[in-house]
Amino acid sequence: MGVHRGDQVMRVTVLGSGDAYGSGGRGHSAYLLEAPGCTFLLDCGPSVLQSLKRAGHDSAAIDFVLLSHLHGDHFGGIPFLFMEYRYENPRTRPFAVFGPPDTERRVRGLFSALYEQTAREALPFGLRYQEVVPGSPVVMNGVRVLPFAVSHVAELVCLGYRIEAAASRTRRSRRARAISGAAGSC
């Protein structure tokens, strides 16, 4: 799915929209967003690598991950990306993970639980974690992301995002989409 605005395109590929149980054979939550100069994931469920490969996308093109919340079906694929970047599709350029409070601890803990030895070693690329909170924008590679609170589960900070692609040479205004990885129950 793409939205064309003059010479700008923000393309969204649904890699997974399933629940935690893979109902209906759908992959776990993962949306690939491609804007000029920037490719990123909204959520990174455990089935993300298979979904990327099935759709013909190169995992190395991903600049960062935005997480809607910290349920495993939304962030459980990050350790698999790290393994892919270490062993199968070597990465040297920086990578970032943006998410609600506690993202870094949870991702590091999951990586260690799944691949203890590899998690102890330095990754061959720069890795940055950044906490995001509703109302505080993040700008990365010409894409502006404005997090907002969504209702999902009371015990977690759950986020939706307004995503704005950079203005083009022919258009002065930015073009936006709003998207959330979760709403309602799991």
Question: What does the pLDDT read at residue 178?
Answer: 52
Closest CA to 72 of 148, 174, 175, 181: 181
**Could you read off the pLDDT of 33-45 as tens digits, one per residue?**
999 999 999 999 9
CA 186/CA 120 separation, integer angstroms: 32
**Could you read off the pLDDT of 84-137 as tens digits, one per residue?**
999 999 999 999 999 999 999 999 999 999 999 999 999 999 999 999 999 999
**Could you read off the pLDDT of 147-168 as tens digits, one per residue?**
999 987 777 899 999 999 875 4
Q: Which residue type, as a one-letter code, is found at position 172?
A: R
Residues with a catalytic annotation lie at 73
Look up tokens 């986020």; give the residue: 159
In a domain, 34, yes or no: yes
Structural domain that includes position 52: 2-134
Q: What is the helix (H) or strand (E) element at residue 54, kind and residue range?
A: helix 48-54
3-state secondary structure of 111: helix
In a domain, 43, yes or no: yes
Give the pLDDT band of residue 182 (cuts 50, 70, 90): low
Closest CA to 131 of 159, 156, 104: 104
This prediction's pTM:
0.86
Number of domains in the chain: 1
3-state secondary structure of 30: strand
Question: What does the pLDDT read at residue 186?
Answer: 45
In a domain, 44, yes or no: yes
